[in-house]
Structure 1
Amino acid sequence: MSVDTPRRIVLLRHAKAEWSDISDHERPLADRGRKDAPVAGRWLAGAGITPDLTLCSTSARTRETWKLVVSELPQRPRTVYDERLYEVSLGELIALLNETSDDVDDLMLVGHNPCVHALADALAGEAEGDLLSRMNRSGFPTASMAVLTFNGSWKAVEHGVGRLVAYWAPHA
C-alpha cells in the first residue's frame, strides 16, 4: 500500500439508550434510538458509504444500533465486536485504529461518548466549511456520525491527521 492510499473513518455514536436498573453495559436502545439508527443507516447508504470493516463496542446499545444501521446498507461489512471500545480513552482508541490492516480503506467505529466525539475532534486537523464547529457545538448527540478522510497507513493515524468531510446528526 502506498503512503498516499486514501482512507475513510466513520465514527458513529450509539443511538439513544434506555435508562434502567440493569448494568450500563446491558442497557438497550430506547424507542427513539430504534427510530434514529435506521435513519443513520439510510444516510450512510445515501452518501455511498459502506465500510470494509466495522469495529463495534460490545455493549447492548452499540450492538443494537449497528444491527439497525447495517440493515439499511447495500452490503454488510465485516464486523468485529471489541470489548476494548466500551470503556476506552482517546489514546487507546487511536492505538486501536493503528492496529487496522492496510487492506481496509473504509473503517467504521461504533462506540460511546465522550470518546467518539473526542476522537473525531482530535483527528480533524482540517474540516470542510463549518463542520468542525457544528460538530463541537452539537456535543455529538446519540446516533450522530463524523466522517474523516486521510492518506496513508492506519499505523500513521494520530492527532490532526484527518479531514472532517461530513457530520450528521438525526435531529440537527
Structure 2
Amino acid sequence: MTDHERPLAERGRMDAAEAGRRLADTAVPFDLALCSTSTRTRETWKLAVHEFEHRPKTVYEERIYEASPGELIAVLNETPDDARNVLLIGHNPGVQGLAEILSGTTEGDARQRMSRRGFPAAAFAVLSFGGTWKALEPGTASLVDYWAPSE
C-alpha cells in the first residue's frame, strides 16, 4: 500500500469526528472544502463534516497531497471569490508551514499552542484574511484559533 492509499487508524477516526465538532463550534459558515485526494484525508473529511449543520461544497484536489506551503498558497489563490470561508484538508509539514507563513498576526496564544503541539492528524488552524484569494500571500492573515487532539 502506498502512503497515498494509507487509511486512517482508529485513533484518527475518533480525532476526525472531534475535530468536526470543534470546527462546527466555531460557527464559521464554510462555503468550500479543498481536500487532498489521499485516503486518510478523505476519511478525515467525511467523518468531520458529519458534525456540520451545513455541508460545504467539497473539491478533492490532487495538488494538496505532499504540497509545500507555497504550492498550497497557489491552490488557494485559484479559489473563486464567492467562497468566503474555505477549509483546506491536507498534510504536514505543508499545512503547518502554511499556517505559520500566512499568519502575520495572532490572536491570544494560538501561535504558541501550534508551535508546541505541531499539526498531528486532525489538528486545525483558523485564519482570518480580508482580501481576495488571488491576493493571499505570506503574512496577510491572522491566526485566530488552533486546536489539536489530546495525546
Q: State the TM-score, normalized to the length of structure 1.
A: 0.85
**Aligned ranges 1:36-75 → 2 under 5 Å:** 36-75=15-54
Describe the superposition over 1:93-147 as per-residue Cα deviations: whole angstroms up to 9, x where unpaired: 1111110111011000000000000000000100012211210121111110000
Which residue identity does 1:99 align to in structure 2? E
**Aligned ranges 1:1-172 → 2 under 5 Å:** 22-171=1-150
Structure ranking higher in strand proportion: 1
Secondary structure, counterpart of 1:133 in structure 2: helix
Q: CA RMSD in A?
A: 1.0
2:68–2:93 contact (8 Å) kept in structure 1: no
Inter-partner Cα distance in structure 2 for 1:151 and 1:158: 12
Task: Indicate the structure (1 or 2) with the bigger Cα radius of gyration.
Answer: 1
Inter-partner Cα distance in structure 2 for 1:150 and 1:132: 16
Inter-partner Cα distance in structure 2 for 1:90 and 1:43: 24
Q: Considering Cα pairs closer than 8 Å and 6+ residues apart, tell me whether 1 or 2 has the greater RCO.
A: 1
Describe the superposition over 1:69-111 as per-residue Cα deviations: whole angstroms up to 9, x where unpaired: 0011001100000110112122111111110111011000000
1:44–1:50 contact (8 Å) kept in structure 2: no
Secondary structure, counterpart of 1:163 in structure 2: strand
Q: CA deviation at 1:50?
A: 3.4
User: Percent identity of the aligned residues?
Assistant: 60
Inter-partner Cα distance in structure 2 for 1:77 and 1:24: 27
Secondary structure, counterpart of 2:44 in structure 1: helix
Which residue identity does 1:150 align to in structure 2? F
Inter-partner Cα distance in structure 2 for 1:42 and 1:146: 14
Between 50-59 and 131-140, report the one with greater CA deviation. 131-140
Q: Which residue in the other structure is 1:14 paired with?
A: none
Describe the superposition over 1:23-56 as per-residue Cα deviations: whole angstroms up to 9, x where unpaired: 1000001010111111111111112123100000
Structure 2 unaligned segments of length 5 or more: list them: none
